[in-house]
Structure 1
Amino acid sequence: MTEVTDRGQSTLAELDAAVSECRRCPRLVAWREQVAAEKRAAFAGETYWGRPVPGFGPADARLSVVGLAPAAHGANRTGRMFTGDRSGDVLFQALYDVGLASQPGATGIGDGLELYGVRLTAPVRCAPPQNKPTPDERDNCRPWLARELELLRPTVRAVVVLGAFGWQALLPVLADAGWRVPRPRPKFAHGAKVVLAGEPELSLFGCFHVSQRNTQTGRLTPVMVRDVLRAAACAAGLTPS
């Protein structure tokens, strides 16, 4: 079984390769592989990735977007964060609208999509049943996120967190990494902004998750997503449109 380590990879490419081989959580391994074998009818002719999903974006990203976990028939199918499902459709359109992506949609690895100064990641790297990881699964996966942020530290200046799960999972990682997280810890809210002292200073932004539940009910609109991304890009030293 591949052991989770937070020190064994010296580059993001090495980290991504190690992430994709992890088998630490038996329930998640069984589920992701079951989904990959049974497939959804619409994707019956495709070969599913069916493994943990690494982060996506340049190694010198100034902005990180942190989600929840891969979707069973999205990133678990395509092998790339937020790619191939409706949540990703909303996110990539917003990234494109503010000048942080080369195209407004993402269908799979090899579609030509590039991110400009942004890296997408998640606190849990395997698709969980009912999209609900357990606390133990979150904690098992934590060293991957910690190492990813450590490798991004020379350049990253802002983080957008999509949803309360990601917010709660990320704060301990940032605290352990040396950023000074206020106590009591700041609560998640859409539009929240917290500046964490450290070397370097880090701006943390909250955004409702781009889930179908949020976007179809109007709780989260494209304008709301763009506004948060634009603010975070400015804080990161990027130039949004």
Structure 2
Amino acid sequence: MDPAEAPSLPGLDALDRAVVDCRACPRLVEWREEAARVKRRAYQDWDYWARPIPGFGPADASLVVVGLAPAAHGANRTGRIFTGDPSGDLLYRTLHELGLANRPESVVHGDGLELYGVRITDPVRCAPPENKPTTEERDTCRPWIARELTFLRPTVRTVVALGGFAWQAVLPVLADAGWQLPRPRPKFGHGAVAVLPAADGGPPLKLFGCYHVSPRNTYTGRLTTAMLRELLAEAARSAGLEPVERVERVEAE
């Protein structure tokens, strides 16, 4: 299905089903399918997903976490966003510690993972070479996340952008979905917070910046587990969720 048809889709389930058939970016299609053929030695027995990755989480989420794009041997292999690599391991473990997920890890789509009040998505739905989608690929893929945010519009109150790419990609999407962008446009930084008023006079939206959970950031200490947990907890509270109780219960166990 072509991304240009995304605005015609009637609901989030229909969107998630449609996006997996997208072949709009030839370079990304070739790369995701090449990765599935060659595979890594550790995953020779895997039947790679090798298709675009839909967002994951409930349709009434109040907190949305936005990443960059799937990893060639991570989500491109497992079929679920942010799974199969160290980035996803850290993200889901932290969400579980905050009581926002029912388990600390996910191995493959359909493995029973549930998120509570949180949806995770990407502005680019296919694995790009060297984890670097082009501007054209980002813009071609934009209708998918734009339609997704439109469906989430009634309930979402907070968005966390993991990295500068996600921050820049999501700003025009939020504007299209009904929030007003501050002028000058807010700049990305870890811990940066921008408040976007609703164009219709409804509740505002808070946009949080967070360093990406990539090994490049976590292995160097630029982003620590404590930093991620603190930021996600603050974002969850701003979205009307209650992460503290779950954290206390996990530590008591």
TM-score, L = length of structure 2:
0.93
Matching residue of 1:101: 101
Matching residue of 2:251: none
Name the CA distance, whole Å, in 2 between partners of 1:110 and 1:120.
Answer: 15
AA aligned to 1:180 is Q
Structure with bigger helix share is 2
After the TM superposition, list the runs of 4 or more consecutive aligned residues in structure 1 that deviate by more than 4 angstroms.
Answer: none
1:201 is aligned to 2:204: yes
Q: CA deviation at 1:173?
A: 1.0
Question: Which one of 209, 220, 223 corresponds to residue 220 of structure 1?
Answer: 223
Whether contact under 8 Å (2:189, 2:211) holds in the other structure is yes
Matching residue of 1:172: 172
Q: CA deviation at 1:128?
A: 0.1
SS at match of 1:16: helix
Q: CA deviation at 1:230?
A: 0.5
Name the CA distance, whole Å, in 2 between partners of 1:27 and 1:107.
Answer: 27
Name the CA distance, whole Å, in 2 between partners of 1:200 and 1:4.
Answer: 29
Note the residue ranges of structure 2 that are not aligned, 5 or more in a row.
245-253
Whether contact under 8 Å (1:100, 1:118) holds in the other structure is yes
Matching residue of 1:51: 51
Name the CA distance, whole Å, in 2 between partners of 1:4 and 1:34.
Answer: 26
AA aligned to 1:25 is C
Note the residue ranges of structure 1 that are not aligned, 5 or more in a row.
none
* Structure-to-structure mapping, 1:72-91, within 5 angstroms: 72-91=72-91
Distance 1:190-1:114 versus aligned 2 partners, 3 A rule: same
Q: CA deviation at 1:200?
A: 3.2
Whether contact under 8 Å (1:32, 1:51) holds in the other structure is yes
Name the CA distance, whole Å, in 2 between partners of 1:226 and 1:2.
Answer: 37
1:144-172 alpha-carbon deviations (Å, 9 max, x no partner): 01000000011111001100000000101
Name the CA distance, whole Å, in 2 between partners of 1:145 and 1:222.
Answer: 27
1:92-145 alpha-carbon deviations (Å, 9 max, x no partner): 111011110111111112322110000000000000000000000000001101
1:66-104 alpha-carbon deviations (Å, 9 max, x no partner): 000000000000110001111001101110111101111
Whether contact under 8 Å (1:192, 1:207) holds in the other structure is yes
Whether contact under 8 Å (2:96, 2:103) holds in the other structure is yes
Whether contact under 8 Å (1:4, 1:24) holds in the other structure is no
AA aligned to 2:137 is E
AA aligned to 2:190 is H
SS at match of 2:6: coil
Matching residue of 2:247: none
SS at match of 2:208: strand
Matching residue of 2:240: 237
Matching residue of 1:119: 119
Name the CA distance, whole Å, in 1 between partners of 2:116 and 2:129.
Answer: 32
Distance 1:6-1:111 versus aligned 2 partners, 3 A rule: closer
Name the CA distance, whole Å, in 2 between partners of 1:4 and 1:131.
Answer: 24
TM-score, L = length of structure 1:
0.98
Deviates more, 1:79-88 or 1:4-13: 4-13
Whether contact under 8 Å (1:5, 1:144) holds in the other structure is no
Aligned residues: 241
Name the CA distance, whole Å, in 1 between partners of 2:113 and 2:177.
Answer: 31
Name the CA distance, whole Å, in 2 between partners of 1:240 and 1:190.
Answer: 20
